[in-house]
């Protein structure tokens, strides 16, 4: 699903890089864009549903969502449709990239609940100029994402999970989320469990990013904190993600459709390429995944062929050519 905005550019680059690893992937291309949603009047087009039902694995570019009106977010609709409940976003420093946090090795993984919270889309104008937006928090979804994070920690030898909340104010909603995290933590005594209020967590992430390991958050805080974390390692052009369900998985970058640079051929395809690395690992293609990740790292370590967001002058295609040469 190449998406729209810079989506088709970074998707073409990523497909080229994945194919260059030699892995035998048969790509099924389906259109998922603001334009097709408006035309078909379906929040997730039938062609996308049919394709994902068949393949169960997707690589997705960003899709534009109209602000303050218009159609429902296709991203939210897709995550709900396939019950892609865990949004997993590894944020790591890459050698060679100049950031304000140069001397700090950032290596955190964000686990964002992906199906409810304020993204339930339940809003209501009670009377003129008075609106309520429903924040939905359930035991099922909160425990499910908590388990997912702790299982990941156990499987990958990670040491600490920090649950992030605002349960001092939203005592019932965030309180329930927190209770589910605590109960789950008790099942994993070998993993250190901490809690932080979201405003303090934001400050700590900027001051001491190296102290974070795995972060566990409800949907909205997870969304915001992901972009903050991306800023620590060099920006949205870099950070990958995965939307994981019981039976389906869709891999996509954290960034959006970047209308300010769309069509110029200068977008950084690294975030989607690293999402493809996650996809290859999920598919059991460990060798191809490692080779692609190493090639990306090598291009950054050399620092000669990087895109404008990282301070270079390379186009999307030139960066991709460099990655393929490094392969
Ligand atoms: P954005 O992530 O598209 O862009 C924010 C800033 O980061 C812009 O200055 C952009 O140029 C830059 N940027 C993002 N990705 C980049 C890349 N790969 N290379 C170089 N620079 C990059 O966020 P924004 O502008 O808030 O949202 C634009 C649209 O994207 C909105 O319609 C939003 O709803 C949608 N969106 C879609 C997502 C998805 O499909 N998963 C996720 C986030 C936003």
Closest CA to 176 of 244, 228, 116: 116
Domain-terminating residue out of 209, 233, 257? 233
Residue 208 scores a pLDDT above 90: yes
Which of the four pLDDT bands, split at 50, 70 and 90, describes residue 280?
A: very high
Q: Are residues 56 and 114 in the same domain?
A: no
Determine, yes or no, domain membership for 11. yes
Give pLDDT tens digits for 54-97: 999 999 999 998 888 887 888 999 999 999 999 999 999 999 99
Going by C-alpha positions, the residue among 91, 115, 136, 119 that lies closest to residue 234 is 91
State the CB neighbour count (10 A cutoff) for residue 281. Answer: 16
How far does the centroid of ligand 1 lie from the alpha carbon of residue 87, in Å? 17
pLDDT above 90 for 258: yes
Of the residues 201, 233, 265, the one at which a domain ends: 233
Residue 75 lies in a domain: yes
- For residue 222, pLDDT over 90 is answered with yes
Out of 233, 259, 285, pick the residue that ends a domain.
Answer: 233
Residues spanned by the domain of 315 = 1-85+249-327
User: Do 117 and 224 reside in the same domain of the chain?
Assistant: yes
pLDDT tens-digit map of 89-100: 999 999 999 998
Is position 171 within any domain?
A: yes
Q: Are residues 104 and 208 in the same domain?
A: yes
* 243 within a domain of the structure (yes/no): no
What is the tens place of the pLDDT at every residue in 232-253? 999 999 999 999 999 999 999 9
127 pLDDT higher than 90:
yes
- Rounded to 5 degrees, φ, ψ at 217 are -140, 150
In a domain, 23, yes or no: yes
63 lines ligand 1 (CB under 6 A): yes
Q: Are residues 72 and 105 in the same domain?
A: no
Asked if residue 116 has its Cβ within 6 Å of ligand 1, the reply is no
Domain count, the chain: 2
In a domain? residue 27:
yes
Percent of the chain scoring above 70 in pLDDT: 100
91 assigned to some structural domain: no
The upper half-sphere exposure of residue 177, i.e. CA atoms within 13 Å in the direction of its Cβ, equals: 28
CATH code where residue 152 lies: 3.40.718.10
pLDDT tens column, 131-173: 999 999 999 999 999 999 999 999 999 999 999 999 999 999 9
Helix, strand, coil shares of the chain as percentages rounded to 5? 45, 15, 40
Residues marked as catalytic: 119, 166, 199, 223
- 192 with 138, same domain? yes
* Residue 130 resides in a domain: yes
62: CA distance to ligand 1 center in Å?
A: 8
Are 179 and 292 found together in one domain?
no
- 260 and 288 co-located in one domain: yes
pLDDT of residue 67: 87
Residues 277 and 107: their CA atoms lie apart, in Å, by: 16
Do 223 and 145 fall into the same domain? yes
Question: In terms of domains, do 180 and 104 share one?
Answer: yes
Q: 103 pLDDT band (50/70/90 cuts)?
A: confident
Q: 228 pLDDT band (50/70/90 cuts)? A: very high
My answer on whether 65 and 117 are in the same domain is no
Q: State whether 72 and 133 are in the same domain.
A: no
Residue 102 has what pLDDT?
81
H helices then E strands: how many in the chain?
11, 10
- Please, what is the average pLDDT of the chain? 96
Residue 63 pLDDT: 95
Cβ of residue 72 lying under 6 Å from some atom of ligand 1: no
Model pLDDT for residues 13-65, shown as the tens digit of each residue: 999 999 999 999 999 999 999 888 888 888 899 999 999 999 999 999 999 98
Residues 20 and 70 in one domain: yes
**What is the pTM for the complete model shown?**
0.97
Tokens 């904190």 label which residue?
A: 225
Is the beta carbon of 306 within 6 A of some atom in ligand 1?
no
């Amino acid at each position: 699903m190449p998406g729209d905005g810079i989506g088709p550019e970074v998707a073409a680059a990523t497909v080229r890089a994945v194919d260059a690893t030699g892995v035998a992937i048969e790509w099924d291309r389906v259109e998922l864009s603001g334009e097709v949603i408006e035309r078909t009047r379906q929040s997730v087009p039938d062609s996308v549903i049919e394709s994902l039902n068949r393949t169960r694995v997707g690589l997705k570019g960003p899709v534009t969502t109209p602000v303050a009106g218009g159609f429902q977010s296709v991203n939210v609709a897709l995550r709900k449709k396939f019950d892609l409940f865990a949004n997993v976003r590894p944020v790591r420093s890459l050698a060679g990239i100049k950031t304000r946090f140069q001397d700090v090795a950032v290596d955190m993984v964000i686990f964002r609940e992906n199906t409810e919270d304020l993204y339930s889309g339940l809003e209501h104008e009670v009377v003129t100029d008075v609106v309520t937006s429903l924040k939905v928090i359930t035991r099922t979804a909160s425990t499910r994402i908590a388990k997912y994070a702790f299982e990941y920690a156990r499987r990958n030898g990670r040491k600490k999970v920090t649950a992030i909340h605002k349960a001092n104010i939203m005592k019932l909603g965030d309180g329930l989320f927190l209770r589910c995290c605590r109960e789950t933590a008790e099942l994993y005594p070998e993993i250190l469990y901490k809690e932080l209020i979201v405003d303090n967590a934001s400050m700590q992430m900027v001051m001491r990013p190296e102290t974070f390991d795995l972060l566990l958050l409800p949907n909205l805080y997870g969304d915001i904190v992901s972009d903050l974390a991306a800023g620590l390692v060099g920006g949205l052009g870099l950070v990958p993600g995965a939307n994981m369900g019981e039976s389906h998985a869709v891999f996509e970058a954290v960034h959006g459709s970047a209308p300010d640079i769309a069509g110029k051929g200068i977008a950084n395809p690294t975030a989607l390429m690293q999402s493809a690395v996650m996809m290859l690992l999920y598919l059991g293609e460990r060798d191809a995944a490692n080779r692609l990740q190493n090639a990306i790292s090598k291009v950054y370590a050399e620092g000669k062929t990087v895109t404008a967001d990282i301070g270079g002058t390379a186009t999307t295609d030139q960066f991709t050519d460099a990655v393929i040469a490094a392969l």
